[in-house]
């Protein structure tokens, strides 16, 4: 680490000014200082995958000096960002930074708003192993009290999906439904083989046919204007049926959209008012035991689940 000369201090001031002037090209978000103490996430700046931001830790409070993943002292001011990764897939996170002329800044990834929960770090960036969906905090801090302007980019890549069939706990009924929270986009192999015939849209329902074979269920929460695109394509060619309902006790009358036109089955549905829906991957005939199918789900405008304990992080922690 190096001593900063008067000339370099002037250069850093000029660098900060040039960053502000370049605000038309990239968003500049100046964080609001918090109070001294442990890591302060009350003014964390939201950041999304694929975003590049510019910032400056000059004058920010030094709430944290040690992180669990390193053995040195970070006595500069912190800038905290909040990153939310949707489920159900695990993610690889790549963070790259450009700290300009000279400030010796470091970047940390935390699993929670706690410097003792450090997952990864880097002098100029890092690439994580696959981490589960959830909310994470990225902190830019200064070694030896250093401060200055920087540019940071966050890239996210979905890791390889779960093994075939999907690594799901049992989800034969609405009570056991796999819960999708927030925006989701994934493809994997699931199965309804030898499951019960718990739901049936009826021959006069939204698919135009009854579905008297085995089925499995997924729960989806959509915000007003939120959209779900879903499809199932049987691996062994059984006659599939897929539909979306709002009331598991009355699938015939609560079905809002469905498809039983011939494999693969699928549809896109936009919810005007939002709410909780149940996506059913069913089988047409009671004489068929069902089987494996390719499941594709894409949710834009998804909301949080009303079931507090049924989150993807909880499911993965219990059933891996």
Q: pLDDT digits over 24-68, tens only? A: 333 444 444 433 348 999 999 999 999 999 999 999 999 999 999
Higher-pLDDT residue of 185, 269: 269
* Calpha distance 320→317 (Å, rounded): 6
Q: What is the DSSP letter of 176?
A: G
Can you give the CATH number for the domain in which 120 is found? 2.60.120.380
**All residues at 6 or more sequence positions from 271 whose CB lies less than 8 Å from its CB, including other chains:** 222, 223, 224, 225, 226, 227, 228, 277
What is the extent of the structural domain holding 312?
A: 174-319
Residue 130 pLDDT more than 60?
Answer: yes
Q: Determine contact, residues 224/302, Cβ cutoff 8 Å.
A: no
Confidence (pLDDT) at 304 = 65
Instruction: Verify that 151 and 184 share a domain, yes or no.
Output: no
| Half-sphere exposure of residue 280: CA atoms within 13 angstroms, side-chain side | 39
* Calpha distance 304→187 (Å, rounded): 21
What are 153's strand-pairing partners? 52, 96
Instruction: Identify the domain boundary among 124, 158, 192.
Output: 158
Q: Determine contact, residues 74/141, Cβ cutoff 8 Å.
A: yes
Residue 170 pLDDT more than 70?
Answer: yes
* Calpha distance 306→250 (Å, rounded): 20
290 domain-assigned: yes
Instruction: Identify the domain boundary among 103, 128, 158.
Output: 158
Token reading at 281: 């991957």
């Amino acid at each position: 680490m190096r001593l900063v000369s008067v000339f370099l201090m002037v250069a850093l001031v000029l660098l900060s000014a040039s960053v502000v002037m370049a605000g038309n090209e990239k968003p500049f978000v100046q964080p609001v200082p918090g109070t001294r103490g442990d890591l302060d996430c009350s003014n964390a700046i939201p950041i999304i995958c694929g975003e590049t931001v510019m910032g400056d830790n000059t004058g920010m409070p030094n709430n944290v000096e040690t992180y669990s993943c390193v053995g040195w002292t970070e006595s500069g001011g912190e800038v905290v960002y909040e990153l939310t990764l949707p489920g159900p897939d695990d993610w690889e996170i790549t963070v790259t930074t450009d700290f300009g002329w000279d400030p010796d800044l470091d970047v940390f990834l935390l699993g929670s708003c706690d410097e003792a929960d450090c997952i990864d770090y880097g002098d100029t960036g890092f690439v994580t192993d696959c981490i589960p969906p959830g909310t994470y905090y990225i902190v830019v801090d200064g070694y030896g009290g250093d401060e200055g302007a920087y540019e940071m980019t966050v890239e996210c890549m979905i890791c390889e999906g779960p093994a075939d069939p999907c690594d799901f706990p049992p989800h034969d009924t609405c009570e056991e439904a796999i819960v999708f929270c927030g925006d989701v986009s994934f493809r994997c192999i699931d199965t309804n083989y030898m499951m019960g015939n718990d739901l049936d849209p009826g021959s006069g329902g939204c698919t135009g046919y009854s579905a008297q074979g085995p089925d499995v269920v997924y729960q989806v929460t959509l915000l007003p204007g939120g959209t779900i695109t879903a499809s199932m394509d049987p691996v062994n060619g059984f006659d599939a049926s897929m539909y979306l309902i709002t009331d598991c006790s009355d699938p015939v009358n609560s079905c809002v959209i469905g498809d039983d036109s011939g494999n693969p089955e699928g549809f896109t549905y936009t919810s005007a008012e939002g709410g909780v829906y149940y996506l059913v991957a069913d089988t047409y005939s009671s004489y068929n035991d069902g089987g494996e199918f390719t499941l594709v789900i894409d949710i834009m405008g998804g909301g949080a689940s009303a079931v507090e304990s049924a989150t993807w992080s909880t499911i993965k922690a219990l059933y891996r």
